Amino acid sequence: MSRIISDVIDDKLIIPCLRDSVGIIKDIDNKSKKSFFSASEIDVSLYDNIVICMSGGKDSIASLLHLLDVGVDRKKIELWHHDVDGREGSTLMDWPFMADYNRKLAEQFDIPLYFSWLEGGFEGEMLKNNSLSKPHKVETPNGLITLERDAKRGKKSTRLKFPQVSASLQTRWCSSALKIDVGRRALTNQSRFDGKKVLFITGERREESSNRAKYNQLEPHMVDCRNGKKSRHVDAWRPVLHWSEDRVWDALKRHDILAPVPYRLGWGRSSCMKCIFNGPSIWATIQHYFPEELDSIADYENQFGLTISRNKRSVKELARDAKPMKINDVDALVQAMKREYKLPILSGPNWDMPAGAFADYKCGPS
């Protein structure tokens, strides 16, 4: 397929149309039908490689646990984590411990974990000024590879503003530039996937947003070329798409997985600490417990003359007029700003529902 520039990936690539309802899919080679609105069970044994995009949040963890519950061969599974801030020194957006948490989660299950990122991360892309996006860095079984941009076919552009709270991935570019495009290039630039059947798993759930409610559960991935020269068969599957939040937490409880730190602090999601979809109470909580973290966001809003919020109120104003959450989990609070993850992965006999569970907080337009 033709090269897709990360800046211009739009919703047509990730928001599929509502199609037929089919519950159990066995024949992944059926050429007459490739996309299914409902596919809660598929024959995963037909795939050579199974890639799970592991954010470190409850839904991606539940996706892994579901595969283990249905008896998938662990040797086929690998976890991919996209480092939002990159590895070049920026700490603007993400939780400091998130990379190490994912590393230790993978070690707990004895499953390989590969990191990938956009050079310079979120901050570098945001500060792009009449230039191409930076290269992608992708860890592979054979080491780290650098995927340069095509200077002849690429298009220079300027950001100089935060991603906007929008369903369009042209303006809400963090998802496309830092996750979707990184995963796409990681698939297309590893010959080990040529001639193979690959299952690419993400942890979206329908109840998170009105747009996610329309997603297909099984469909060809955007880089699928099963009938092409490389015979790379890639299906995208969302195994927990139809799950309720109750079922997600039940899966973590059954497997004794301690709730990830963001939920223990009261966050309803385990995305970036300073996600653009944060509500006023989250910004107020950051201001109360981690004031320097809010200052870095506010400074950029002032520099750009443009707020994250669509109502043109700065994060400082939103925080000022909201009440911060009270964080009672001292262990999680101490861990929050440390790069090394020092808490357990497993809960032991006393599993507790975290403060952020069932928070009245949707994931936004995506």
Gap between the Cα atoms of 99 and 290, Å rounded: 20
- pLDDT 10s digits, 162-218: 998 877 777 889 999 999 999 999 999 999 999 999 999 999 999 999 989 999 999
SS3 67: helix
Residue 7 pLDDT > 90: no
| pLDDT of 28 over the 60 cut | no
Indicate if the pLDDT at residue 95 is higher than 60: yes
Which residues, 6+ apart, have CB-to-CB distance to 87 below 8 Å?
115, 117, 121, 137
Instruction: Compare 26 and 16 and report the one with higher pLDDT.
Output: 26
Read off the pTM.
0.89
Q: pLDDT higher for 54 or 349?
A: 54
What confidence score (pLDDT) does residue 152 get? Answer: 79
Show the domains of the chain with their CATH numbers. 6-245 (3.40.50), 259-335 (no CATH)
In percent, how much of the chain has pLDDT > 90? 81
Which residues neighbour 191 within 8 Å (Cβ) at sequence distance 6 or greater?
A: none
- Among 75-84, 340-349, 356-365, whose mean pLDDT is lowest? 356-365
pLDDT score for 34: 86
Residue 117 exposed, middle or buried by CB count within 10 Å (0-12, 13-18, 19+): buried
Q: Which residue has the higher pLDDT, 90 or 153?
A: 90
Tell me whether strands 49-53 and 41-42 are parallel, antiparallel or unpaired. Answer: unpaired
Q: Taking the mean position of all CA atoms in its chain, how far away is CA 354?
A: 20
Higher pLDDT, 132 or 104: 104
Q: Is the pLDDT of residue 21 over 80?
A: no
Residue 12 has pLDDT above 70, yes or no: no
Instruction: Give CA–CA dist 270/63, Å, rounded.
Output: 15
Spatial contact of 116 and 183, defined as CB atoms under 8 Å apart: yes
- One DSSP character per residue, 251-310 reads HHHHTTBPPPHHHHHT-S--S-TT-TT--HHHHHHHHHH-HHHHHHHHHHHHHHT--SST
Report pLDDT for 31.
54
User: Which of residues 47 and 6 earns the better pLDDT score?
Assistant: 47
Residue 30 is predicted with a pLDDT of 53
Q: Quote the pLDDT of residue 150.
A: 84
The Cα 272–Cα 82 span in angstroms is: 12
Mean of pLDDT over the chain: 90
pLDDT band at 364, cuts 50/70/90? very low
Cα–Cα distance for residue pair 159/38, rounded to 1 Å: 37
Take residue 64 and report the two structure tokens written for it.
């892994």
**pLDDT category, 361, cuts 50, 70, 90?**
low
Nearest alpha carbon to residue 52 among 74, 30, 34, 25 = 74
pLDDT value at position 348? 85
Whose tokens are 């262990």? That residue is 331
Residue 80 has pLDDT above 70, yes or no: yes
